[in-house]
Amino acid sequence: QVQLVESGGGLVQAGGSLRLSCVASGRTFSTNSMAWFRQAPGKEREFVAATTWISGNTYYADDVKGRFTISRDNAKNTVYLQMNSLKPEDTAVYYCAATTDIVRGIPRRADFRSWGQGTQVTVSS
């Protein structure tokens, strides 16, 4: 089992930036891909971005392409989500997720077994 802890959420004005971090511990050697999902009030949890641990391939949801960047630091077992040009519709709880699978394209929520507790991102207009 992999334990995930997110940080970096907060309140920001529209157009601003935030960087989320997710530190993995436990059986990290079995992790091949990590991702960020988000869930706004009253909505289902949706995919945001993913990266493969070894090759560093990245995948993004259409509405965050060009604004968000996912990256990883293998030595620190940490994945980041740099969020720029934030919009009020980006407001959500952001969750980090890990899987033993190698993601090849947009993954499904069900592909991930390990989840963090989430961090709130609020973008004011």
Helix (H, G, I), strand (E, B) or coil at 44: coil
- Establish how many alpha carbons lie within 13 A of residue 39's alpha carbon, considering only the half-sphere containing its beta carbon: 11
| Model pLDDT, residue 48 | 98
Cα–Cα nearest to 58, from 24, 42, 23, 82: 82
Residues 125/12, Cβ–Cβ less than 8 Å: no
- Within 10 angstroms of residue 37's Cβ, the number of other Cβ atoms is 24
| Model pLDDT, residue 94 | 98
| Model pLDDT, residue 69 | 98
Q: Can you tell me the distance from the alpha carbon of 119 to that of 20, in angstroms, rounded to the nearest whole number?
A: 8
| Model pLDDT, residue 1 | 84
CA angle 36, 40, 42 (to 5 degrees): 135
| Model pLDDT, residue 2 | 93
Cα–Cα nearest to 81, from 44, 111, 119: 119
| Model pLDDT, residue 91 | 98
Q: Which residues pair with 72 in a beta bridge?
A: 79
| Model pLDDT, residue 115 | 97
| Model pLDDT, residue 18 | 98
* Average pLDDT rounded to a whole number, residues 92-102: 96
* Average pLDDT rounded to a whole number, residues 79-107: 96
* Average pLDDT rounded to a whole number, residues 49-63: 95
Q: Can you tell me the distance from the alpha carbon of 36 to that of 39, in angstroms, rounded to the nearest whole number?
A: 10
| Model pLDDT, residue 28 | 82
